[in-house]
Each structure stands twice: as structure tokens, then as C-alpha cells.
Structure 1
């Protein structure tokens, strides 16, 4: 009767015996310290391409007013407009 160790008694001892294994990284990056960076010129601006309209019916005021409230834009207050025009906090 006294020779068996209950599982409740063995559980805390098992936690104490566990050892934290060192971290083994899964991704290894090559050492690029000696490789010079390419001297790339700044990107050239592309020629202006006119936008083409998306096929379908355009939005109308009536179709926007039929949207549920959760899909409508929230009105912007005057204070928010001033904050945006100012560029952030003073």
C-alpha cells in the first residue's frame, strides 16, 4: 500500500526535474557583412497612365444612403479636420 507513488505526488517532482533547453533558431541568415551594397540609382518616374473607370454601375447618393450604418463613413467633426490640417498634435 505504501510502495506506490500517487500521480499527484509525482507531478510536482517532474516539473522540478525538467531542464530548459537552449534556443535553437529555425531560420539561419547568411553573414553579409563583407558584401558591398549595390549602388542602385533612384527609381525613375513612370509615364502617367490615365485611370480607366471600373466597369459597373457608379455609386449614387441613393445607393449610399441605403447602406446600413456600419458600412457608412463616420462624419468628420470640425475639430478632427483642424487636427488633420495642422499635421498632428501641437
Structure 2
């Protein structure tokens, strides 16, 4: 997976309301292939906390305790958001086939 794609997904994960901080920001346009565009579009459909948990875990490689600290939630909540997010992401991607 390209570093540019990882940055794009990470930036998407941390889109927040105006006035809130962002953990990561991508300034330059990011070239994506069709599969990557489909994944980013599917991630946009997830609830914010599920999207954050998935990106922190699967794209940035953080452990549950690190994700919990970054998101300000318990490890159990991280597991729940990650599991539900993967199920929803799978569903969205299968519907697009």
C-alpha cells in the first residue's frame, strides 16, 4: 500500500467539525487508483468513530491501547468500533460490486 494512500485515508479518518483539531492533514492532491477510491468512498460512509478506529488500527498500525488513548475511549470500545466498522465496510464494498 503506498504511503500516499495511507496519508489520504488517515486524513479522511480525522475529518472533524470546524474548530476541532485534526491529527493529520494532507495538503497535496493524492493520486489514487480505482480500488483505493472505492475504499475511501466506502470509509466516508462509516460513522466517524468506526472510521477513526479502522484507520488507526489497519493503516497506521496502532495497538488497541494506543488507539484508545488517541480516541479517548476504552480498549473495549476500540474493539467494538473496529469490529462494527469492518462489518460495515465489508457490506458497503460488497454492495458496490
- TM-score calculated relative to the size of structure 2: 0.18
Quick check: which one's helix share is greater?
2
User: Whose RCO is larger (CA < 8 A, sep 6+)?
Assistant: 2
The structure with more radius of gyration: 1
